[in-house]
Amino acid sequence: MDFATIIQILDSTVRLATPLLLACLAGLYSERSGVFDIGLEGKMLIAAFASAAAAAATGSVWLGLLAGIFASLMLAGLHGLASITFRGNQLISGVAINFLASGLTVLLGQKWFGLGGRTPSLEGAARFEPITLPFAGSIAPVPVLGPIYSELISGHSILVYVAIALVPASAWLLYRTRFGLRLRAVGENPAAVDTAGVSVTGIRYAAVAITGILCGLAGAYLSTALAAGFGREMTAGKGFIALAALIFAKWRPWYALAACMLFGLLEAVSIRYQSIDLGFVMIPVQFTQALPYILTVVILAGFIGKAVPPRAGGEPYVKER
């Protein structure tokens, strides 16, 4: 494997890890506040459809992005209403959102575009184009550093840079601000936060809203940057992989970045190498394609360390009178 191939694989890793990272950070905010959300998949899916549909109809990728965020926020609000206000089972609410998004995207896609649940292909201003960073062309001939900057760091869409920038921003927000302290406290001991005069319901709704926005960004990236339109079930389990990455990362932003890059690397390798010859054995393409999902099962089964979720996670808060 030469250096150019390594750069290409790492470049694919960054692109494929971006929706996972956005969804993982989305789950981080929600679960840190004590609201478990397995509906990340559904919110990403509805956002991908809304973004592609709006971009195809208006020719503007920015209007598509806003439509995706709005659609995701609607489902996030529905989840908040069911699990926070009505104190319903958070897991069942998440499953319902996944089913709702799966059916709704196909139904509306067929009704509006008649393409079997797909949207028309996006082009021009209806897609996020790669951004060439300053001096990428002039630095490219420089050995080692040139390809790293011009091919690996430069040449991504704006949502890739936004996703990476959100990691330190989330770490600062969660561990260096009053809001972050309250959000983490609500996930650990909501009664103590309530006693201090802080609205537990308000903090949890704020966290669920942030989750909706980030899932909207993830879905929009899938259909308007990584691909050129929406396809049926195009999230392909990425919401669940993001949840596994979140558990693997122990609900911490920087660890989430590393976990998502690991999943992105596995997917990039499975795409790059349809089969791997180790000399004494040939690894089939089916195994390489299943690697991200195998790792997901391994993590969720608890084989890689013990992850302790927020203590009040999954439990509706009932205010004492």
List, in sequence order, every residue forming a beta bridge with 283; answer none if it has no partner. 276
> Do 272 and 264 meet the contact criterion of CB atoms below 8 Å apart?
no
Which residue type occupies 290? A
Question: What would you measure as the largest C-alpha separation in the chain, in angstroms?
Answer: 70
CA angle 256, 232, 54 (to 5 degrees): 85
134 by Cβ neighbours in 10 Å (0-12 / 13-18 / 19+) ranks as exposed
Q: What is the pLDDT of residue 305?
A: 63
Q: What is the pLDDT of residue 114?
A: 87
Residue-range domain boundaries for the chain: 20-128+138-243
What residue ranges of the chain have pLDDT lower than 50?
A: none
Q: What is the CA radius of gyration of the chain?
A: 20
Neighbouring CB atoms inside 10 A of 42's CB total: 30
Residue 14 parent element (H or E): helix 3-32
CA pair distance 130, 275, nearest whole angstrom: 30
> Phi-psi bin for 250: left (phi > 0), alpha (psi -120 to 50), beta?
left
> Do 21 and 258 meet the contact criterion of CB atoms below 8 Å apart?
no
pLDDT digit string (tens) for 74-84?
999 999 999 99
Write out the DSSP string of 60-77. Answer: -HHHHHHHHHHHHHHHHH
Neighbouring CB atoms inside 10 A of 297's CB total: 11
> Do 93 and 39 meet the contact criterion of CB atoms below 8 Å apart?
yes
pLDDT digit string (tens) for 198-252?
999 999 999 999 999 999 999 999 999 999 999 999 998 899 999 989 988 989 9
Q: What are phi and psi of 170, to 5 degrees?
A: -70, -40
